[in-house]
């Protein structure tokens, strides 16, 4: 069966691989995946719009950080952000391990890596909350503050939704919703989490390195 | 030991660990085909790039404010 499938491509290969499990699943998996990719692309466009607005505001500003009431605003804390970034990037790796273990039918390890991902995601959110409390600027008053809180807030909301999403996926996985060959939800969850990680790569560069 | 030193140390060690793991996973998944595998490879690659940025920021090479 596996050898025969290797000679097929695209939709045929997917349909052949999953036909013995659920013919409808095999036929619709590609379409659902494509739909999810379009969802990620639309999210990408949303972030891109705000990122371009920030870049435009920054390069057209007479000074950066801008001045407020005669005082120049402080730079963001690069060392704390680097540490918090690693917490988020680490969660991407643990999520990847979770999916790989599910594919290899190792449910105990899947649960362990998934919990690690959720804990790291919450850790990142707590780090962001700490940063908001000490950053020394507000949403209003300057383009720097408005851009920072809008972009990182929108990203933080995505992380929060991701934590809920992964929790639900974990519950579903343990209730037998997914099997070793039928786990589209877990694939989508992993892609979403990687996407959230990658958005942070750009935000980290723009706010803490540039 | 200052707070900044500890933060940079954790970021430095973490960036190496996570970055190397991401690259190894990328290498392992290199032969995989399909939309999801392709997207995962792109995202893992960008995440490894993020680790490099975090590493350089922690080492005070990037993001130095004067």
Q: In this predicted model, what pLDDT tens digit does every residue of B32-54 receive, in sequence order?
A: 888 889 999 999 999 999 999 99
Of A38-47, A136-145, A171-180, B21-30, which range is least confident?
A136-145
How many domains does chain B divide into?
1
Domain that holds residue A101: 2-209
Task: Using an 8 Å CB-CB cutoff, list chain A residues near B50.
Answer: 85, 89, 197-198, 200-201, 204
> Residue A126 above 90 pLDDT?
yes
How many domains does chain A divide into?
1
Residues in B whose CB is inside 8 Å of some CB of A read 4, 7-8, 10-11, 14-15, 17-19, 21-22, 25, 34-36, 39-40, 43-44, 46-47, 49-51, 53-54, 57-58, 62-63, 65
pLDDT at A23: 66
- Do B26 and B41 meet the contact criterion of CB atoms below 8 Å apart? yes
Which residue is closest to B32 within chain A, CA to CA? Answer: A6
- Do A204 and A81 meet the contact criterion of CB atoms below 8 Å apart? yes
Task: Using an 8 Å CB-CB cutoff, list chain B residues near A14.
Answer: 34
Q: The CATH number of the domain where A92 resides is what?
A: 1.20.120.80
**CA distance from start to end of chain B:** 22
Q: Is B39 a domain residue? A: yes
d(C-alpha A194, C-alpha B43), whole Å: 6
Size of the A and B interface in Cβ pairs below 8 Å? 107
Q: Is B3 a domain residue? A: no
pLDDT at A15: 53
Q: Do B7 and A85 touch (CB under 8 A)?
A: no
Query: pTM (2 decimals)?
Result: 0.89
Buried b (16+ CB within 10 A) or exposed e, A110-138: bbebbebbbebbeebbebbeebbeebebe
Q: Is B48 a domain residue? A: yes
């Amino acid at each position: 069966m596996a050898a025969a499938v290797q000679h097929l491509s695209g939709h045929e290969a997917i349909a052949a691989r999953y036909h013995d499990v659920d013919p409808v699943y095999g036929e619709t998996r590609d379409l659902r995946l494509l739909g999810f990719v379009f969802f990620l692309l639309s999210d990408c466009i949303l972030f891109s719009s705000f990122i371009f607005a920030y870049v435009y505001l920054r390069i057209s500003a007479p000074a950066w950080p801008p001045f407020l009431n005669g005082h120049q605003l402080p730079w963001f804390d690069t060392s704390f952000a680097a540490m918090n970034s690693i917490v988020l990037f680490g969660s991407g790796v643990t999520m990847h391990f979770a999916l790989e273990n599910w594919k290899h039918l190792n449910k105990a390890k899947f649960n362990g890596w998934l919990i690690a991902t959720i804990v790291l995601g919450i850790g990142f959110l707590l780090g962001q909350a700490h940063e908001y409390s000490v950053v020394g600027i507000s949403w209003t008053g300057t383009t720097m503050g408005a851009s920072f809180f809008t972009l990182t807030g929108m990203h933080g909301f995505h992380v929060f939704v991701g934590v809920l999403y992964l929790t639900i996926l974990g519950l579903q996985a343990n209730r037998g919703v997914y099997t070793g060959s039928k786990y589209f939800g877990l694939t989508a969850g992993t892609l979403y989490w990687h996407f959230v990680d990658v958005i942070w790569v750009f935000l980290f560069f723009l706010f803490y390195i540039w | 030991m200052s707070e900044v030193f500890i933060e940079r140390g954790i970021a430095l060690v973490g960036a190496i660990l996570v970055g190397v793991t991401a690259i190894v996973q990328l290498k392992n998944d290199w032969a995989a085909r399909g939309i999801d595998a392709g997207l995962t490879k792109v995202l893992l690659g960008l995440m490894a790039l993020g680790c490099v940025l975090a590493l350089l920021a922690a080492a005070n090479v990037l993001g130095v404010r004067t």
